[in-house]
Amino acid sequence: MSHSAEDCDDQVRPQRPRVGIVGYYRRLNLGDDLMAVMIARMIERAGGDALIHGNSPVFIDCGCECEQNLETFCKRVDCILVGGGGVLLPLNSPNPNAVGNEYSTYLLSVVRFAESLGIRLHVISIGGDSADVVRPLRPGPIALLTSPNFRGGTYRLRQDRECLEHLTDAAMKYCPDIVLDMPRWMPFRERESHGQLDLAFQISDLKLRAKLRRLRKLRIIPKYSLVDTPASSMVPDATFAKFDPIAEEMSSAATISEAIELIALSKAYVCNRLHVGVIAAAIGRQFLALTPQKKVACFFEDLSLDLEKYVVPPNAVRSVPLRLTATRAEFTERISRAAEDSRGHADYIQQLVSGYHVRTRETHEVSATKTLS
């Protein structure tokens, strides 16, 4: 693949591949944006250059290089890595242009450009939320996984294996959620405070939040902070109910690092968003789910954790302290094992970049068709 004149730095470093990163970004979603930054750092440590499609201030704050125009982005990279995220989610609507399917439409464009430019496609830490063998997937993911340019990657739920085998012959490797490997790629500082919280709730449902406040006033549940995370943003203007001195120190989270620091202030979480819980687990905190999304339940099941123990019904909130005590040892052991296994995503990226270097040394040129197959 020939690069544009404006991209002259590639000509100075011809043996350093540029890997494009594509995903459900630009929505200020903490889990997805965190994955993009982690993947970029994995690529750079492996000896490549990372380019994220998007222009989020979150990426710029983390020192990542971005490109907003999709066509320009595709022309500047030597291969494309899609993920991590819910690529394998079922079809929302038969109409690919429906709001719920905008990511599908986006992936269709990515695949079209990649095929026209001869760029190979890979995926990293992709997943779904259904155990069906053959799902009615959206057109974009189907185009990606069945493209002649698709070369494989990693996925994050064991239950996705049969779905992937149905769609592609490319080599796919299972590794637990990539965010469990976060501490190696996103160092954060522990904030000094008057004392760490015993428990924090992250709930977007207003009725449940009101119920928690009532239980707190009646002293039925212990002192806690209530983390307000609006559905539109997971790097939020995070506010905490001021039930304790620590809450007075907590400021708005404007960056991924600040959001992680706020999560680290509590010893345990009850949450209904997947990656708030996975981030907590990655930094040594415990979490339970409250009226979870399917993705949260799938995460527990993938680690062979009993949903009866780890998912708290809304009418059983007062059982949270006992549940945390009863599950602590098992949870710690399973998360530790899964975190070690999740390093397989970084290993895949290392192999991809290293394989590319071998080929460029042999041919002395940069070409999108000479990346790792």
Neighbours of 322 (CB within 10 A): 9
Beta carbons of 283 and 182 less than 8 angstroms apart: yes
Q: What is the pLDDT of residue 36?
A: 94
- In contact, 240 and 225? CB cutoff 8 Å: yes
At position 13, the amino acid (one-letter code) is R
**Domains of the chain, residue spans:** 5-175+343-363, 200-340
According to CATH, what is the number of the domain 5-175+343-363? Answer: 3.40.50.2300
Average pLDDT, 10 consecutive residues per value, the chain (373 residues): 47 73 82 92 96 86 92 95 90 72 91 96 93 78 96 95 93 97 88 64 62 54 42 33 37 69 81 86 92 84 94 83 93 98 98 70 34 36
Which pLDDT belongs to residue 326? 96
pLDDT of 115: 97
Predicted structure pTM score: 0.83
Closest CA to 36 of 197, 273, 256, 240: 256
Alpha-carbon dihedral 273, 279, 284, 289, rounded to 10 degrees: 10
pLDDT of residue 207: 61
